[in-house]
Amino acid sequence: MKFSKKIVYLILVIAVIVQIFVNVYGMYSGFIKITNVLNFISHVVIGALISSVFGAVILYLDFLLFNFTEGLFSWEKHYIKRAIVESFLTISVGILIGVIMTLLVNLAFPYHENIFNVIFRNVVITSIINLFMMAGLEGYTFFRNIQQSKIQNERLLKENAIIKYETLKSQVNPHFLFNSLNVLSALIKKDANEAQTFIDEFSTNYRYVMDTLDREVVTIEEEINFVESYLYLQKARFGSYLITQIKIEASIFDHYLPPLAMQTLIENAIKHNKVSESSPLKINIYNNGPTIVIENNLQRRDNIKDSTGFGLQNLKKRYSYISDIEPTFIVLNDNFVASIPIIKPE
C-alpha cells in the first residue's frame, strides 16, 4: 500500500475538524483561554498544523510498518505472529511520536504542569490512537482486497466463459466437418463397415468435446483415448501421409491436462503444415519430465492465411486458471515443439 497526497489532504481536513471541536470544548470548559475570534482561529490553525504534521508522520510510519509486516507474515498463515509484531511496532511508533510531539510543543508553548506527566498522558493517547489507525488500515485493506477479489473473480468467470465458447466454436470447425463428411461419403461407397467405424469415432469425438467442456481438467488417459479417436478421423482423410506416434508412460495416466489440450496442438500442426505424399507430416507425442511434448516437422503450407495464434493463446489462458506454469512453444531443428505442463493429482 502506498502513502499518497490524497491521504495528506485527508489528514489535514480531519486535523482542522478535530481542532475546532477541541478548542470549542476547551473554551467552554475553561481549559483553553480564548479571547476573540482571531485568537480562536490561531489556536485552530496552529493546532491543526501540528496535529496534521504528526498525524501524517505517524500514518506514513504505519504504512511502512504495514508493508513490512505484510512482507514477513500473511494473515492466512501467521496471523498470531503478525498481530503481535504489528501491535508492538505500532505502540512503539505511538510512544516515539508522543514523546517527540510533547517535547516540541513544550518548546513553543510551555506546559504549566509536570512535563513527565504530560509525556506519559500523550504517549498513552498517541499509542491508543495509533492502534486504532493501524486497525483502520488493516480493515480498509481487507475490505479493498475482498472487493478486488470479487472483481477479479467476475473477470475470470467472464474470460473462462468466453474461452469455453471459443473452444467449442473451434471444435465445431466447418472445414473439419466438411472434410469428415466427404471422407464418410467416400467410405460409404467403398466399405460400409469402415464407414460405420468412422461414424462411431466421429460421434465419440464430439461427445468427448461436449462432456468435457465444463471440466477444468481431464486425466491424461482420457485425453489420449480422445486423441486416438481424433487421429483416426484425420488419418481416414490423409492416410499414410499423416504419421503419428504416441509414447506416454502409463504411470502418468492418472495425471491431468486441460481437456482438448493435446488435440488443439495436433490440429494446429495439421492446419499449418503440408500433409502430402511428398511431404508427410510427422507428429510425435511423448512425456518429458513434468511436461507432455507434441512435436511436428515444419513444412508450412503456402496458401494458408496469416495465423491469429488463437488456439495457442487460448491454451495458455486455460492453463493460467489451473497452473503457475505456462505451455511453451518453440521452433527447434526445423521442428515445432509444444510442451504442456502435466498437472499432478493432489
Write the DSSP string, 204-229: HHHHHHHHHTT-S-EEHHHHHHHHHH
Cα separation values, 47 from 44, 75, 107, 236, Å: 5, 37, 14, 88
3-state class of 159 per DSSP? Answer: helix
Which residues, in sequence order, are CB contacts of 164 under 8 Å at separation 6+? Answer: 213, 214
Which residue's C-alpha cell is 477479489? 149
* Residue 270: how many other CB atoms lie within 10 Å: 20
172-341: in CATH 3.30.565.10: yes
Instruction: Map out the domains of the chain as residue ranges.
Output: 5-151, 172-341
Q: What is the pLDDT along the chain (346 residues), one digit of tens a residue?
A: 565 667 666 666 666 666 676 666 556 665 566 667 777 777 677 777 777 777 777 778 878 888 888 888 877 777 788 888 888 888 888 888 888 878 877 776 676 778 888 788 878 888 888 888 788 888 888 888 888 888 877 776 776 666 665 666 555 566 677 777 888 888 888 888 888 988 998 888 888 888 887 788 899 999 999 999 999 989 988 989 999 999 999 999 999 998 888 988 998 899 889 999 889 999 999 999 999 999 999 998 876 655 556 678 888 888 887 888 899 999 998 999 999 999 998 7
Please write the tens of the pLDDT for every residue from 217-252.
Answer: 899 999 999 999 999 989 988 989 999 999 999 999
pLDDT tens, residue by residue, 20-64: 766 665 566 655 666 677 777 776 777 777 777 777 777 788 788
The region, left, alpha or beta by phi > 0 then psi within -120 to 50, assigned to residue 334 is: left
Helix axes 5-29, 37-72, angle to 10 degrees: 130
For residue 99, what pLDDT is reported? 87
* Residue 19 confidence (pLDDT): 65
- 296, 281 Cβ separation under 8 angstroms: yes
CB 58 within 8 A of CB 134: no
User: Which cell is 181 given?
Assistant: 463428411
Report which secondary-structure segment, H or E, holds 244. Answer: strand 242-247
Q: Give the relative orientation of helices 310-320 and 261-272 as an angle to the nearest 10 degrees.
A: 160
Cα 205 from Cα 227, distance rounded (Å): 9
